[in-house]
A and B are shown apart, each in its own frame.
Chain A
Amino acid sequence: MNILEVNNVSKNYGSLYALADINMTVGDGKWLSIMGPSGSGKSTLMNIIGCMDKPTSGSVILDGQDITQLSLTDLTVIRRDKIGLIFQQFHLVPYLTALENVMLAQYYHSMVDEKEALNALERVGLHARAKHLPRQLSGGEQQRVCIARALINYPKLILADEPTGNLDEANESLVMNLLHQLHQEGSSIIVVTHSPEVAKHAETTVVLEHGKIAQIIDNLK
């Protein structure tokens, strides 16, 4: 069973092809890295998989469901129920505390549970900073809040767009450890990264160039 199947997906902005005829599959519980130069279409692909954007052509099957046929409202529901998002920029609501930011994801998903949200923050080592606003946190801490938020609803698939791009080494290994834990718990993970070190954590690495798959590397070999 595959959590994700991408079939002949293209995305163009006018005459510019951000993605051209992409085909790939991700098995249930697998970890995939996406690498490639800037502008090669990594974020574009992640946004399409994450139900935040639609391809120009082709189909995406997420957990057995063709999401390219769905309306924006239905996409919102899928995103909420199946996907945990970690963004390239750490997007947090600026006027809510770390804890409230995590609880916001619970709120839109189903029901707030402060204890559970605190546990998630504890897991990313931020229990003591639960009442801090984003601007009172460092970049690494903000990214960890985003991870706590992404895992709070037990998503089947975690999408992380350069989760360590703005972090130092210490924070990077913290974040990677967290992803490993989630992976062991059974989540499927797709990570976009520029760093070969980070990419190596995955079972497979896909390299994009000019919107096409240039190479598929098996990291286990």
Chain B
Amino acid sequence: MKEDSSGNNVILKVQGLKKYFPVRRGVLQRVIGWIMAVDGVDLELSGGKTLGLVGESGCGKSTLARLILKLVEPDAGNIFFRGEEITGLSRVEMKPYRRFMQIIFQDPFGSLNPRMTVGQSIEEGLRAVGVGSLEQRRRRVVELLEMVGIPALAAQRYPHEFSGGQRQRIGIARALSVDPELIICDEPVSALDVSIQAQILNLLRSLQEGLGLTYIFIAHDLHVVEYVSDNVAIMYLGHIMEYGPAEVVYSQHLHPYSSALLEAAPVPDPSAKRSWTPLAGDVPSPFNPPPGCKFQNRCPLVEDRCRKGEITLYEVNGAHRVRCWKVLGR
């Protein structure tokens, strides 16, 4: 393990990562603009820790996840896994890294092969990384399914024969099967009721304690993110707006968007009915956004300066960072 300046073991480092999707229109499919899905993201992740990633739907979380795993090619930036640069690696060159970096996809149906039983799907993954004999692999499949609360008999069934939440748990079992070091969990518990959700969160936590797994945890449920994360990054239109230790981001957040998001979190209590407050202003378009702060058209504090030049991610103290000059008075 490489050590960074502060003595932490850095498992993943991402610098200046960008992904712009072209928008093509007309018969000639001419490019008429760009969607800036991920627009310059820096991250550093220590082994055995969890980074929570939250933000509005469409802000670029899944794209960032797919960039890190090299499922899409970045337009700019660098990715380092355990100190080694993997940015330019080809599919074949990535192969030895695959088993260490897994993803639990947001859409479990789309990520399972409909023509394979779930047992075959998981077993195939094990075979690809060369795990034991067929007999050993089958035993492992049963063990994995039971870990996520699916009866072993179900290994012989096809994806469509399961409920939404069962499929999601099959995706989790598959990601865990190859003993990865880093797992990107993209909405891993969104389809689960609270009791099974708790079971899965406890499982992820005990694996982290036992095996030192590192997670990037993407979720919309802010209570869940607070519970699982060591650090939290808040994204908005391809930018990280605020970053820091979970306690700090949750209780001393500074960015106006963080406030809008975190303070809108509904609570499971019928007497709190009035808490439905959408963000004011129109949802901004990711197409060719205006210069300056990406939050400008919805921000209650906006001033002229916010509309000029790029706003950088300022250091507040320790690891806490905020992309807003105004709240910091800088």
Q: Do chains A and B interact in one complex?
A: no
Residues of A within 8 A of B (CB): none
By a beta-carbon cutoff of 8 Å, the part of chain B in contact with chain A is none
